[in-house]
Chain A
């Protein structure tokens, strides 16, 4: 059985609705759900003021235009929550378990500070996907984020553990100051990827030029990557056989930090040899 909450109309100012979470909704009676608190701007009000409730059960579905609804699924620990469309900022932030499925786009800070569970976005995600809140020592600390579209800047910033996988392109400074964990960008990376990273892996299937503080190591087939790519393929991301069996250029960095992190760039054998060499060493760069 599915419990469905339908947003009657888009709120005038953003609605902060941390109560829209299976931990609070699953198994609750309709009147209990309607009485749960939300913030509409600076006004404390109730879910029932904005949502109509139908059905019942542990499988929770949110319908309507939720682009101005923030913190959906934030802190959830179990259960399954589906958003039938777009969702606002901070969706799944700090979640510890369960599954949050967004069938449209997700706003900024989706999965920020996440500690467990799965966040799946069928569309694209905004900035700071799985990112780190100001003042926090680390961002995402566990779980999996899978985005079928693109992701904005600073995806995986401060990442400590877990996997962020994006089928499309990832914006600038992906994995900035990351501590560990894995960011996979099947569609390519923006500039300054891995700036300040200490450990962890950033993987891309498109040509990329790492920062000057990264050092080329070798081209090889990382055994761990096959596990990850098979997992992503099982989750529905378009991982090709060439990517699965491919060779990757390994760049170590960031040299301004521990230089224990890595950027892995698929070595595209179809590209001219000169281009590939330039990508690895830079046209004029000496070997460091």
Chain B
């Protein structure tokens, strides 16, 4: 299959269930909201090494937030509900509670919830208090700046992780340009994040390693420098670099839509090839075929 001069592989991305939540962070200025959001979603590229995957979903205008201040929404994913709760307590506690002027709210209505504010309240050392408004409890934690406001419970829903596309380029520069264009197009989809730096991973991995301690290692079949060294390479001779974008979403449809927009944007921006990563269908129940995403 060809699209705007790019060869589109007839393959599929293999996605799997993961539990996710949406966190709304507000602050006195957009800059401080972004700062708190970036801090909370730092070191959260892959569940393998970071225990969760998280990133900023988008910036929020004041009329989109519970307290009418500028904000950001961030998505956080972990392998189970309890994991989402633990990571939220750690990250909201260390990165949002500490951030000047920031407040933190639940951003997804769900039957399943985890206790976040109800844990962080203990930082108040007995001086904390709560308010219940419209059935939701909020904790007021006194801090040196004034008060930190955090919602007690955050919704968790079963999302989809591991959506991906892989872009190859004849020059390293064109490959990166294509990946940047794809990531930018994907950011316009609500309900997804691309958790790697700038949304882009240069180090796609395969499952397992020759070293028993490692659960994952470099995807040697897609390393251009190993083309002459490995038994099965997937890098065409005229390709200089390969990038991957991993997509996590609060549902399958947003992940599919992000992949579709990314595929088109990457092809338009000069990718020589676009493919997707899978594990032969053995890992995840969601198979997103590139063929079905073609315009």
* Contacts from A to B (Cβ < 8 Å): 142, 161-163, 182, 199, 201, 218, 220-224, 226-228, 230-231, 244, 260
How near does chain A come to B71, taking the closest CB pair, in angstroms? 12
Residue numbers in B under 8 Å from A244 (CB-CB): 68
The residue in B66, B131, B146 that gathers the most chain A C-beta atoms within 10 A of its C-beta is B131
A233: nearest chain-B partner, CB-CB:
B68
B68 near A230 with CB under 8 A, answer yes
Q: Which of B67, B132, B147 contacts A161 (CB 8 A)?
A: B132
Residue from B68, B103, B138, B148 whose CB has the most chain A CB atoms within 10 Å: B68
Shortest beta-carbon distance from B20 to chain A in Å: 25
Known A161-B132, A163-B133, A260-B129; contact A227-B146, beta-carbon cutoff 8 A? no
When C-beta atoms are compared, the residue in chain B nearest to A218 turns out to be B146
- Measured CB to CB, the nearest residue on chain A to B140 is A224
A227 and B132 contacting across the interface, CB-CB below 8 Å: no
Within 8 A of A (CB), among B118-143: 129, 131-134, 138, 140
B134 touches A224 (CB 8 A): no
Q: Tell me the minimal C-beta distance from A88 to chain B in angstroms.
A: 29
Nearest opposing residue in chain A for B130, CB measure: A180
Complex Cα spacing A135 to B212, Å: 71
A163-B133, A182-B131, A231-B133 known; A226-B67 Cβ under 8 A: yes
Q: Which residues of B approach A to under 8 Å, CB–CB?
A: 66-69, 103, 129, 131-134, 138, 140, 146-149
Q: A222-B146, A226-B68, A227-B133 are in contact. List 10 more A-B contacts (CB 8 A).
A: A182-B131, A199-B129, A201-B131, A218-B146, A220-B146, A221-B146, A222-B140, A226-B67, A227-B149, A230-B68
With A182-B131, A260-B129 as known contacts, state yes or no: A230 contacts B67, CB within 8 Å: yes
- A227-B140 contact in complex given A161-B132, A221-B146, C-beta closer than 8 Å: no
Report the Cα distance A231→B140, complex, angstroms.
18
B146 & A224 in contact (Cβ 8 Å cutoff): no
A199 to B67, CA, bound (A): 23
**Could you say which of B69, B103, B134, B147 contacts A231, with CB atoms under 8 Å apart?**
B134
Determine whether the beta carbon of B147 is less than 8 Å from that of A227.
no
Q: Tell which of B69, B132, B146 touches A226, judged by Cβ atoms closer than 8 Å.
A: B69
- Please give, as numbers and ranges, the residues of chain B lying within 8 Å of A218 by CB-CB distance: 146
A223 touches B149 (CB 8 A): yes
Q: In the assembled complex, which residues on chain B have CB atoms less than 8 Å from the CB atom of A161?
A: 132
Residue in B closest to A163 when the chains form the complex, CB atoms: B133
| Set B68, B69, B131: member contacting A224, Cβ < 8 A | B131
Q: A182 to chain B: which residues have CB within 8 Å? A: 131
CB distance from B34 to the nearest CB of A (A): 18
> Can you list 28 residue pairs at the A/B interface with Cβ under 8 Å?
A142-B132, A161-B132, A162-B132, A163-B133, A201-B131, A218-B146, A220-B146, A221-B146, A222-B140, A222-B146, A222-B147, A223-B146, A223-B149, A224-B131, A224-B138, A224-B140, A224-B147, A224-B149, A226-B67, A226-B69, A227-B66, A227-B138, A228-B131, A230-B67, A230-B68, A231-B134, A244-B68, A260-B129
